Structure 1
Amino acid sequence: MIKKQAFDPSTKRVFAHRGMSQLAPENTLAAFHKVKESGVHWLETDLDLTADGQIVILHDESIDRTTDKKGAIHELTLAEVETADAGSWFGSEFTGQRIPTLPQLIDLINADGLNVNFELKPYLGGDERATTLIEGFAKELKRVSPQSQVIVSSFNATMLKQFKALSPDTPTAMLFKRTQSKQDWAAIATDTGSKIIHPDVRGLTRARVEKLKKAGFELNVWTVNSLKAAYHLFDWGVDGVFTDISHRFPEAYKRQ
């Protein structure tokens, strides 16, 4: 029997999901800076647009869950967003953390030498403002250091194609939920110009992973909060995992 060759952990990506979100409040500069402190090289984060057209870092459609204020992000101005405390809910030592702007995050990425996956959220403010988000993002992205790797992902194929038209050399990834398991992921990703697929870990099978890898796609799986599950996925051939526990991965996995 031929023994299967073990994978090289240093070739696998470990993405700190919303920054180091178990050590600091998610999607804050504190959480992003702890990525470097923890020896991890990739972070994942989310983009959205304020009422006055400023790009900020936020996962939810509103600021209710992660700040001491309330309101839909697309109905609030940047000045209003900047009054919200985005850290005290996590711990008193993070009191005063704010929802970062995209320029602030890019400054941190450049200073800390990090790689990043930006997710373009499906925008509730309408198609015109979604275009404003994409155009502003593509312009600001030019400030990222050439030493940093960037992936841009989205569940929204239209937004991904719009971005790809503005930044054709930036790698893009199509996100898929478990409920989309019957769709032709390869065809959809190809239509957006993407060579990377980001599938939901739930319901993902080894056979599908092997088929997509054989077709030439890279796969980064979300959200994998078990080291054992991550090892199984890497053994299947996936290239990376998005996780809230990136700080717990052995050093060998943090080198990529």
Structure 2
Amino acid sequence: MTMCHLSILEPENGRCGLRAALLLSALGVTTVALTASAPASAGTGRDLRVDAGAHGTTARWLVDGLRAAAPAPGVPLRGPGAPLTVYAHRGASSAAPENTLLADEVARRSGVEWIENDVQPSKDGVPYVLHDETVNRTTSGTGRIRDLTAAQLDALDAGSWFAPAFAGARVPSLAAQLDDLHARGGSLLLEIKGPHSRDEVARVVKDIRDHDMAGRVLVQSFDADALRLTRELAPDLPLALLRSELDADPVAVAGELGLSAYHPSDSALASRPEIVTALHAAGVAVNVWTVDAATRWKALDAAGVDGIITNHPAELAGWLSARP
């Protein structure tokens, strides 16, 4: 984390509010502007030291050595002229083995803030980052992830299938991925994969809280019940509904589930692109999956979507930076 000293303070309901604007152009970091409450009353007639730092586009700050409260995460709508948000699908999955910390690092080094993953529990209830129902395709093992213990999953090679250079990569637990993101930077678009029990969702929420990542996680799922459980257990976490086909009334569904974002497939959105305007009017962001072609990036950009989930995050980031 890069730190810089700031002294911009303003009163806010008897406490000290903070607006930090960081311009870290030397590191290729865009401006970060966030607001939060200071950890203690500022009082009057005295100076405070404020230190702020940034990971990608996420700011954190200390007031007189104490960490300020994180702002509510939300999923902001894209403003006029603002670029699309890039979501790295399973990490940079076209360049490194999917859903591994290596794929996350490749995405991060391309300047992408958001990593998308898939989470499922092991036999003993530990959330792991894996897309398929079985480990067969992307690891050295076989069998359903829900039939394998955490110790068995930890022993698998999750890199050799992609290329010999990645031999020894591991299937990360959700805790390991959150720890990596917390330390090295980045935010997480976390997909709860398939139906989950209340206890299974509660364990996901616990891992997020234990790693102090609630302000940097957007939870998505195809399973509406998984989102309802998440909302019940953690009403502060923003939610997104994944859809292969559009709901008859996406705005009504978004309202019923308390969604911050609606995530249709590219083909589904192409059938009714006007839903972008309707969802935006309801304050709901629209992020589209999984789009790897520049022709579709251009069309979705013109349609006003807020973000694109892609297997080629570096290429999409480059395409966005090269636009006139």
TM-score, length of structure 2 as denominator length: 0.70
Task: Output one character per residue of 1:180-209: Cα deviation in whole Å (capped at 9) or x when no partner.
Answer: x35322222222211210011113132222
Report the AA paired with residue 166 of structure 1: L
Measure how far apart 1:69 and its partner are.
Answer: 1.1
Map 1:173-188 → 2, pairs under 5 A: 173-178=240-245, 181-188=246-253
Report the AA paired with residue 196 of structure 1: A
The residue number in structure 1 matching 2:285 is 218
The residue number in structure 2 matching 1:3 is none
Candidates 178, 195, 201, aligned match of 1:106 = 178
Q: From the CA coordinates, give the structure whose radius of gyration is larger.
A: 2
Q: Distance in 1 between matches of 2:314 and 2:210?
A: 28
Map 1:106-145 → 2, pairs under 5 A: 106-123=178-195, 130-145=197-212
| Two-structure CA RMSD over aligned residues (Å) | 1.9
Which stretch shows the higher mean deviation, 187-196 or 69-78? 187-196
Candidates 315, 319, 322, aligned match of 1:248 = 315
Identity among equivalent pairs (%): 35
Task: Output one character per residue of 1:129-159: Cα deviation in whole Å (capped at 9) or x when no partner.
Answer: x222200111111134469522100111111
> 1:106 touches 1:143 (CA, 8 Å); kept in 2?
no
Question: Is 1:96–2:161 an aligned residue pair?
Answer: no
The residue number in structure 2 matching 1:45 is 117
Map 1:61-210 → 2, pairs under 5 A: 61-123=133-195, 130-145=197-212, 149-178=216-245, 181-204=246-269, 205-210=272-277
Structure 1: where are the runs of 5+ without partners?
Answer: 1-5
Distance 1:146 1:105, change over 3 A: closer
Q: Which has the higher contact order (CA 8 A, sep 6+)?
A: 1
Report the AA paired with residue 25 of structure 1: P
Measure how far apart 1:74 and its partner are.
Answer: 0.6
Structure 2: where are the runs of 5+ without partners?
Answer: 1-78
More helix by share: 1
The residue number in structure 1 matching 2:88 is 16
Measure how far apart 1:251 and its partner are.
Answer: 4.6
Measure how far apart 1:51 and its partner are.
Answer: 0.5
Q: Distance in 1 between matches of 2:174 and 2:274?
A: 38
More strand by share: 2
Q: Distance in 2 between matches of 1:146 and 1:67?
A: 28
Report the AA paired with residue 76 of structure 1: L
TM-score, length of structure 1 as denominator length: 0.88
Q: Distance in 1 between matches of 2:317 and 2:115?
A: 17
The residue number in structure 2 matching 1:57 is 129
